[in-house]
Amino acid sequence: MHGRIIYLFLLLLVLEGCSKIDKARDFLTNPTAREVYQRDLKISDELFAIWESEKDKSLKNDSISIGLPYRESGRFFPKSFLVYSYLMELHGGDLLSVKIKQDSTSSLTFIDIFSVEDSAYKNIKSSGFGEQTLQVEIEEDNIYKIVVQPEIDASSFFTIEIKRSPLYHFPVAGGKNSDAQSFWGAQRDGGKRSHKGVDIFAKRGTPVIAAVDGRITSSGEKGLGGKQVWLRDPKRGQSLYYAHLDSIAAIKKYQVKAGDTLGFVGNTGNARTTAPHLHFGIYRRFGGAINPYHFIKQEENEPPKKSPFLPGNQLGVVKNKANIRNSNSIKNSEIIQKIPAGDTIQILGKTDDWYHIKAPNSKIPSFLHSSLAAPIN
């Protein structure tokens, strides 16, 4: 008995030592979450290659598009090798968030975000090993693809949530998107110049607030902007411009926090003939002015809060002749193909009133309205 205890103690020391060696090696080599997954769960090279190839095929071939916010629920089945990928349009200033919820705390998923560049895909960010969420600040207007892949032996119900939010607070207290009524690029002075910001209309004297933690670099009354404040965002290397203020707040410190009052809405400078509003602009150190709207555009929609889809298996049957589409919408989608009644489909998940499916003789996923099919239980 005494010898067995010593043996178990030594075994624990060896295992702990191996774990520390792996951590030290990881610190030096910085392996991807997928590489850690193969190593720690001892996935064979052959099986891992199949799993990886499915991700690569999904990245290259899948073309379904979604609008945000988006929520899909369903069930991961072991060794189904399914990959969930979504195309979407995003803008500089968006904060993209992806979250996976599962009823199994031990089941792994892997999240990757890519930008589309010259018909190729560039990895922007990937989730860490064991992480079920991923956030990324979008720097450029572009088309992006999110790839969600469960581990090989995943067996759990899931919900995928994808949403965007603004990087900054709305700069006018109590304001909303509809208060912005003059946007980036609008012509000024008969076409001699274009608008380098967004105008947000509000009652005179409405507080104007710091949209982000930062440092006041300049304030006063000068030029076309009238009474103005410049706020430096050191994290992103850009400056926020608040113009046409009625008055500037008595700021006794240079460092401010998001939500601090910087001044009050007015129409000073070259805005004397217009209604009170804030001209809000963003300037990068070496890139000049950029479109500020998506940095402050509030997300006003929430994904439908319907009961999660809890299928017994992945099969469904088409009830009526149907069109399958590249998006979960009739208005903003393209028909991929028509499928006849009675066809058996593979159901990957459900979002609102749409099934995310794979149809017979189709290598790519699509969407089918839920009224046109039924799960086979």
User: Mind listing the pLDDT tens digit of every residue in the chain (377 residues)?
Assistant: 555 555 545 555 555 554 555 555 665 678 999 999 999 999 999 999 999 999 999 999 999 999 999 999 999 999 999 999 999 999 999 999 999 999 988 899 999 999 998 889 999 999 999 999 999 999 999 999 999 999 999 999 999 999 999 999 999 999 999 999 987 766 666 555 677 889 999 999 999 999 999 999 999 999 999 999 999 999 999 999 999 999 999 887 789 999 999 999 999 999 999 999 999 999 998 879 999 999 999 998 887 778 899 998 999 999 999 999 999 999 989 999 999 999 999 999 999 999 999 999 888 999 999 999 999 98
Q: What is the pLDDT of residue 106?
A: 86
pLDDT of residue 306: 81
Domains of the chain as residue ranges with CATH: 25-166 (2.60.120.380), 177-296 (2.70.70.10), 315-375 (2.30.30.40)
Query: Which among 26, 25, 47 is positioned nearest to 129, based on CA atoms?
Result: 26
Contact 91, 294 (CB under 8 A): yes
The pLDDT of residue 233: 98
Question: Cβ distance 276 to 261 under 8 Å?
Answer: no
One-letter-per-residue 3-state SS of the chain = CHHHHHHHHHHHHHHHHHHHHHHHHHHHHCCCHHHHHHHHCCCCHHHHHHHHHHHHHHHHHCCCECCCCEEEEEEECCCCCCCEEEEEEECCCEEEEEEEEECCCCCCEEEEEEEEECCEEEEEEECCCCCCEEEEECCCCEEEEEEEEECCCCCEEEEEEEEEEECCCCCECCCCHHHEEECCCCEEHHHCEECCCEEEECCCCCEEECCCCEEEEEEEECCCCCEEEEEEECCCCEEEEEEEEEEECCCCCCEECCCCEEEEEECCHHHCCCCCEEEEEEEECCCEEECCHHHHCCCCCCCCCCCCCCCCCCEEEECCCEEEECECCCCCCCEEEEECCCCEEEEEEEECCEEEEECCCCCCCEEEEHHHEEECC
pLDDT attached to residue 272: 93
CB-count burial class (<10 Å; 0-12, 13-18, 19+) for 209 = buried
CA neighbours closer than 13 Å in the CB half-sphere of residue 118: 0
> What's the whole-model pTM score?
0.88
For tokens 């912005």, the residue is: 180
Return the structure tokens found at 142.
């572009």
Q: What angle do CA 195, 278, 275 make, to 5 degrees?
A: 90
Q: Is 36 exposed, middle or buried (0-12, 13-18, 19+ CB in 10 A)?
A: middle
